[in-house]
């Protein structure tokens, strides 16, 4: 006991000089205070500070007493025997003075810690009002350590013990509360919870310096911790650390020479720019890509100044010219910004020059984006040199292989040791029975490290308490659709599962009580109770099954894998799951969706297309959900039999799709697998929608739609889709108009959501269905809006295929996702129209589109039928200005911004390359600048200015955002005005104001009404030009009716006018009129 006492004294933190106790008086940590709960049937340490070498006596009212002598620093520890559960008692600590602690209970004490799911309060759980109403229990007590940071171990924490009532329990850990309540019910003893948790915290923040010193990757952080507490040194060291990190980013041969002009890159692959990582075949890659190209400056050309311009680079970059670094973008959040780097004088030379780029993508999609024209070398006084073509690229190290960048001057709850120093060390070694732990989300992206880090944390805390194999029960992180997850969540859960190899550990599984759309699921009761089951079984001898089946091993058995388990209770049980949960892979490491069946005490898993399986996985997805249980209803944890931590080939689920496909012979293909015959590209670039390997491939850019060339009323439609990147978004539109709605990249229709892993409070990724842009629908399971939510989550995550079956019949839509009806809507209007596929920002593929027509309604109301296509085509690709006379003078002023054209008001007019004779033009537009009050003249129906009694034009103050227009047939005189004058947009200025024109012409060129929508809102022109007559409809109102334009050219291009004001254009469609 004497040796253990000395060890505990050595572990106890000392007061800093400013906080040292003055004089001989006894000072106890705050945790030794009125209302405390002591661990029963053991010896607990009571420590504090007093006069050096002073004798300290501790006496308990249950009859125990003990004493010790303070050391030279005044620290003391007294070991006090505790009885079985009971109280309230009184504790007296005597030295020169006396401290008395009242209302002491003896029972079970647990230390609850972790991040936000441990911190999640009772007040926010499901059924919180009911739970709080019965929360009065004076024998369940909490001590909560406040959230604090410390660069060195603290001696104490603020806090106090409180009993349980509806008010005090409200902000306490829900998991810890349900754990304590189950122990109270089962053991009938007092329970004390010491709560120390912080949302968003990392595991290393809860570990001691000594424990982390065994991890080389944290050496830099530990070295800088003292520096971090000094603001001046902190700023200086932060800059130095950042520079050093980039300087040692890649120590490979190429990494050391990437900017060297003499580097032989002839073996690198070729590409043009822009190019995303996915375009390079690196869709799942996060890390460095090197790019290089040469360019030539003619001999004799004088170089007076130069700027290198590049498109946006996701996320960071370094750029060199002729071996010299000319610029870097290392700041966070700059992935969408174009790059501009000044080239120092004398660096460029006539003849051959080399530009090199080191791009680093940290997470998610990466690459060099923008438009080809963004990549150019600008020479002062000379024509620029385009740089979009002729690049070579080489894949560098993956992000996971790069040096740790954790050393930062920012002190926060993620910084190594800071929470341990402030919130754990002051409370250890208070007598406890064990630890409850719920953390891991913040270490998800470092799952490989967590396999070593988490067991080290457990050992570290056991060392701090000095109690041997202290019981340590933890919660496996809950199912959640993390954006861009590429397997990290499943691997983190697996790392947690592997920690069960340590003695006296247990894991509460949450696969069946999570919420894929909420990282903080509100159903905390099962979590706390599952932790309690572990304790009741292991420590108190209760005859209960402690957990669900625990994976032990797997072996190949014929054409399948046989899986063995421990702790499976009365037997294994498979339950129906909305998604496939089992996968098998052969030696090629390609996992395939599989089926499973219980055979005695084992599980047999197989896929007929994997005849020689080598590995099996269960529930290895971000948003896992239980399918395997024991007969007591306890779920099995996700598991795997392999140790393949590197990037694996994309998983496959071809067999699963055969489960859902109908064999109805009346389902006929509406996509032939070879061409896009029968389909119309409404508003995208030609390369947005292509046919590849028998499927329709969509790049996701720009935002827009591909539709059928014919309409359908009642039908059954089956199709399959998959996203190629996690978090992708797309859609299927039914009963659609042929053109996009005003100011939108999509049509009036009902959208069937095609989304991957991006659930939110108002949407899911599992088959939402909702009317858009003027369509109407009454949803089932609408949750208060027009969106029909799925009754079950069945969608597979990227890159697996999904199967949709849509039944559209007399205004009712029914959608099945992977074999089961999940979404319905009724009273849809329109209920006859086109079928569309949606492009919305990420690559997606569609295949096996088959349709069976059902009898239509002969009495279908006209209002319930979509508009009929009239042969329009788009004048804008959504990516660039193909089809327009785009010159260097336009660059930077006219910008292709996805489905809109953005103009800053400063460049020249933008003309089409085509000429048009008779046509119908659709054009959406809106003002983008803030309006100001300006006086503008009134125009009468005759086209003349209205005069006042004084003979001067009458003026009206209006909100004015600018002036623009549309030129017809290559002629500025035949301009359709866009402006804010009282007369309204649509007038033909060149004719209305021409005094040589007849009164009839000027009157006809004057709008019959002002039909403009409020500034900032989208407007739609429909302009019909036939012969020398023009008709203008604005927002569905005819404002110009067959106005004759004498002398107008017979044919010419169309232009978007520059008149000094910022404006947006969209949905530019044209239809030639022939045969007149």
Strands 391-398 and 287-297: what pairing?
Answer: antiparallel
In this prediction the pTM is 0.76
**What is the distance between the alpha carbons of residues 206 and 213, in angstroms, rounded to a whole number?**
14
Cα dihedral 187, 192, 194, 199 in deg (nearest 10): 60
pLDDT the model gives residue 973: 95
Q: Where in the chain is the domain with CATH 2.60.120.560?
A: 667-868, 894-1072
C-alpha 44/C-alpha 453 separation (Å) is: 29
What's the pLDDT score for residue 228?
A: 65
pLDDT at 380: 84
Tally of helices (H runs) and strands (E runs) in the chain? 15, 64
Percent of the chain at pLDDT > 90 equals: 83
Between CA 33 and CA 26 the distance in angstroms is 13
Contact at 8 Å (CB) between 394 and 265?
Answer: yes
What DSSP string describes 793-808?
--PPPTTS-EEEEEEE
Q: Which CATH class is domain 894-1072?
A: mainly beta
Nearest 10 degrees: CA dihedral of 254, 259, 263, 265? Answer: 80
Residue 673, both tokens: 């697998």
Reference 376, options 390, 362, 393, 360; nearest CA is: 390
Helices 231-247, 219-228: inter-axial angle, 10-degree rounding: 150
Interval 889-947: pLDDT, tens: 999 999 999 999 999 999 999 999 999 999 999 999 999 999 999 999 999 999 999 99
Return the exposure string of 1007-1043: e unless at least 16 CB atoms fall within 10 Å of the residue's CB, then b: bbebbbeebeebbbbbbbbeeebbbbbbbeebbbeeb
Which segments of the chain belong to CATH 2.60.120.260?
Answer: 253-401
Residue 326, pLDDT score: 95
Look at residues 643, 455, 635, 640 and name the one whose alpha carbon lies nearest to residue 551. 640
Alpha helices in 612-720 (DSSP H): 654-660
CA distances from 550 to 470, 568, 748 (A): 21, 7, 51
Helix (H) or strand (E) run with residue 1066 in it: strand 1063-1072
Fold that domain 253-401 belongs to in CATH: Jelly Rolls (2.60.120)
Q: Which CATH class is domain 107-208+414-540?
A: alpha beta
Model pLDDT, residue 690: 98
Cα(909)–Cα(563) distance, integer angstroms: 70
Distance, in Å, from the CA atom of 1044 to the CA atom of 815, rounded to the nearest integer, reads: 52
- Burial code (b: 16+ CB inside 10 Å, e: under 16) for 399-427 equals bbebbeebbbbeeebbbbbbbbbbbbbbb
**pLDDT in the model for residue 247:** 83
* Contacts with 161 (C-beta within 8 Å, 6 or more apart), sequence order: 31, 33, 34, 35, 36, 37, 141, 142, 143, 192
Longest CA–CA separation in the chain, Å: 117
Query: Residue 49 class from Cβ within 10 Å (0-12 exposed, 13-18 middle, 19+ buried)?
Result: buried
Q: How far apart are CA 37 and CA 580, in angstroms?
A: 47
Q: Supply the pLDDT for residue 410.
A: 66
Contacts for 876 with CB less than 8 Å, ≥ 6 apart: 683, 883, 884, 896, 901, 1065, 1066, 1068
585-588: long-range pairs with CB below 8 Å, 24+: 585/610, 585/613, 585/614, 585/615, 585/616, 585/617, 585/642, 586/610, 586/611, 586/612, 586/613, 586/614, 587/612, 587/614, 588/649
Residue (of 536, 540, 567) closest to 551 by Cα position: 567
Residues of the chain with pLDDT under 70: 1-24, 228-231, 234, 405-410, 1076
* Exposure string over 602-635, b if 16+ CB within 10 A, otherwise e: bbbbbbeebeebbbbbbbbbbbbbbbbbbebebb
| Closest of 21, 42, 29, 184 to residue 101, by C-alpha | 29
Distance CA 679, CA 745 (A): 17
Paired tokens of 530: 């599952």
- Provide φ and ψ at 834, rounded to 5°: -90, 165
Which tokens sit at 166? 């509806």
Q: What is the edge-to-edge ordering of all strands in the sheet holding 306-310?
A: 339-343, 306-310, 376-379, 385-386
Q: E strand or H helix at 241, and its extent?
A: helix 231-247
Determine the pLDDT at residue 6: 33
Backbone angles phi, psi at 595, to 5 degrees: -110, 160
According to CATH, the topology of domain 667-868 is Jelly Rolls (2.60.120)
Q: Which two tokens stand for residue 950?
A: 């004084």
Backbone angles phi, psi at 688, to 5 degrees: -65, -40
Task: State the CB neighbour count (10 A cutoff) for residue 959.
Answer: 14
d(CA 584, CA 556): 10
Q: At what angle do helices 488-498 and 447-465 cross, to 10 degrees?
A: 30
User: Strands across the sheet with 560-566, in order?
Assistant: 550-557, 560-566, 602-606, 591-599, 582-585, 615-618, 639-640
Distance separating alpha carbons of residues 592 and 655, to the nearest angstrom: 8
């Amino acid at each position: 006991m004497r040796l253990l006492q000395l060890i505990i004294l050595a572990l106890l933190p000392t007061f800093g000089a400013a906080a040292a106790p003055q004089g001989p008086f006894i000072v106890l940590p705050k945790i030794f205070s009125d209302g405390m709960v002591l661990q029963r049937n053991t010896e607990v340490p009571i420590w504090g500070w007093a006069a050096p070498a002073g004798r300290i006596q501790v006496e308990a009212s249950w009859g125990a007493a003990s004493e010790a002598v303070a050391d030279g620093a005044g620290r003391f520890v007294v070991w006090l025997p505790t009885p079985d559960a009971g109280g309230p008692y009184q504790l007296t600590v005597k030295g020169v003075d006396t401290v008395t602690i009242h209302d002491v209970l003896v029972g079970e004490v647990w230390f609850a810690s972790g991040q936000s799911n441990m911190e999640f309060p009772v007040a926010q759980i499901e059924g919180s009002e009911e739970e709080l109403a019965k929360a009065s229990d004076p024998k369940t007590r909490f001590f909560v350590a406040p959230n604090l940071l410390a660069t060195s171990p603290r001696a104490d924490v603020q806090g106090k013990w409180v009993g349980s009532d509806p008010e005090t329990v409200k902000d306490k850990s829900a998991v810890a509360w349900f754990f304590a309540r189950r122990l109270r019910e089962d053991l009938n003893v007092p329970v004390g919870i010491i709560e120390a948790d912080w949302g968003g915290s990392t595991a290393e923040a809860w570990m001691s310096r000594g424990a982390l010193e065994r991890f080389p990757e944290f050496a830099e952080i530990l070295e800088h911790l003292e520096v971090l507490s000094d603001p001046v040194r902190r700023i200086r060291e932060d800059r130095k650390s950042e520079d050093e990190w980039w300087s040692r980013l890649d120590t490979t041969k190429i990494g050391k020479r990437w900017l060297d002009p003499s580097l032989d890159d002839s073996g690198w692959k070729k590409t043009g720019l822009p190019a995303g990582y996915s375009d390079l075949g690196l869709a799942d890659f996060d890390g460095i890509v090197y790019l290089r190209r040469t360019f030539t400056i003619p001999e004799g050309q004088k170089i007076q100044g130069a700027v290198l311009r590049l498109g946006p680079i996701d996320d960071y970059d370094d750029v060199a010219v002729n071996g010299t670094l000319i610029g870097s973008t290392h700041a966070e959040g700059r992935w969408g910004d174009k790059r501009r780097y000044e080239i120092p004088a004398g660096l460029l030379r006539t003849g051959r020059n080399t530009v090199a780029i080191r791009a680093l993508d940290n997470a998610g999609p990466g690459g060099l984006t923008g438009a080809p024209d963004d990549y150019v070398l600008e020479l002062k006084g000379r024509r620029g040199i385009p740089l979009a073509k002729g690049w070579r690229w080489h894949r560098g190290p993956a992000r996971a292989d790069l040096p740790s960048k954790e050393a930062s001057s920012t002190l926060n709850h993620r910084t190594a040791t800071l929470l341990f120093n402030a919130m754990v060390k002051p409370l250890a070694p208070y007598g406890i029975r064990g630890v409850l732990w719920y953390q891991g989300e913040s270490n998800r992206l470092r799952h490989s490290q967590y396999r070593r880090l988490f067991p080290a944390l457990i050992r570290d805390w056991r060392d701090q308490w000095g109690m041997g194999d202290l019981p340590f029960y933890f919660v496996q992180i809950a199912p959640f659709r993390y954006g861009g997850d590429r397997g990290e969540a499943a691997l983190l859960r697996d790392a947690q599962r592997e920690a069960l190899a340590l003695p006296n550990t247990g894991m509460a599984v949450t696969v069946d009580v999570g919420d894929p759309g909420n990282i903080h699921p509100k159903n905390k009761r099962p979590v706390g109770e599952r932790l309690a089951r572990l304790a009741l079984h292991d420590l108190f001898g209760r005859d209960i099954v402690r957990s669900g089946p625990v994976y032990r091993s797997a072996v190949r058995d014929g054409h399948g894998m046989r899986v063995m388990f421990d702790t499976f209770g009365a037997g294994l049980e498979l339950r129906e799951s909305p998604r496939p949960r089992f996968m098998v892979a052969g030696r090629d490491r390609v996992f395939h969706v599989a089926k499973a069946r219980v055979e005695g005490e084992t599980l047999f898993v197989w896929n007929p297309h994997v005849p020689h399986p080598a590995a099996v996985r269960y529930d290895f997805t971000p948003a896992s959900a239980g399918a395997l249980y024991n007969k007591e209803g306890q779920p099995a944890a996700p598991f795997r039999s392999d140790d393949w931590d590197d990037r694996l080939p994309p998983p496959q689920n071809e067999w699963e799709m055969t489960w859902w496909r109908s064999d109805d012979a009346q389902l006929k293909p509406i996509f032939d697998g070879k061409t896009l015959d029968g389909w119309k590209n409404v508003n995208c670039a030609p390369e947005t929608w292509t046919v590849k390997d028998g499927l329709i491939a969509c790049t996701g850019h720009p935002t827009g739609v591909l539709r059928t060339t014919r309409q359908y009323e009642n039908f059954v439609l089956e199709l399959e889709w998959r996203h190629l990147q996690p978090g992708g978004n797309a859609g299927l539109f039914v009963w659609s108009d042929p053109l996009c709605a005003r100011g939108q990249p999509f049509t009036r229709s009902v959208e069937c959501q095609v989304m991957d892993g991006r659930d939110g409070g108002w949407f899911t990724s599992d088959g939402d269905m909702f009317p858009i842009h003027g369509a109407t629908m009454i949803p089932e399971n609408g949750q208060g809006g027009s969106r029909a939510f799925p009754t079950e989550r069945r969608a597979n995550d990227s890159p697996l295929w999904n199967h949709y079956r849509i039944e559209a019949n007399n205004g009712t839509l029914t959608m099945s996702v992977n074999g089961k009806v999940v979404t319905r809507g009724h009273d849809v209007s329109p209920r006859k129209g086109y079928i569309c596929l949606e492009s919305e920002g990420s690559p997606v593929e569609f295949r096996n589109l088959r349709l069976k027509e059902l009898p239509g309604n002969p009495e279908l109301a006209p209002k319930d039928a979509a508009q009929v296509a009239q042969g329009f085509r788009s004048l804008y690709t959504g990516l660039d200005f193909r089809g327009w006379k785009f010159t260097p003078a336009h660059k930077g002023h006219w910008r292709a911004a996805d489905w809109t054209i953005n103009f800053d008001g400063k460049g020249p007019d933008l003309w089409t390359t085509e000429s048009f004779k008779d046509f119908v033009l659709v054009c959406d537009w809106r003002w983008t600048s803030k309006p100001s009050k300006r006086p503008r003249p009134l125009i009468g129906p005759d086209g003349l200015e209205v005069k006042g009694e004084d003979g001067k034009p009458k003026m009206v103050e209006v909100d004015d955002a600018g002036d623009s227009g549309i030129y017809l047939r290559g002629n500025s005189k035949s301009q359709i005005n866009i402006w804010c004058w009282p007369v309204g947009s649509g007038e033909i200025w060149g004719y209305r104001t021409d005094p040589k024109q007849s009164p009839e012409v000027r009157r006809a060129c004057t709008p019959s009404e002002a039909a403009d929508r409020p500034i900032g809102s989208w407007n739609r022109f429909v302009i019909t030009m036939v012969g020398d007559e023009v008709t203008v409809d604005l927002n569905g109102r005819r404002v110009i009716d067959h106005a004759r334009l004498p002398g107008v050219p017979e044919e010419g291009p169309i232009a978007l006018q520059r008149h000094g004001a910022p404006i947006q254009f969209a949905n530019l469609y044209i239809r030639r009129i022939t045969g007149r």
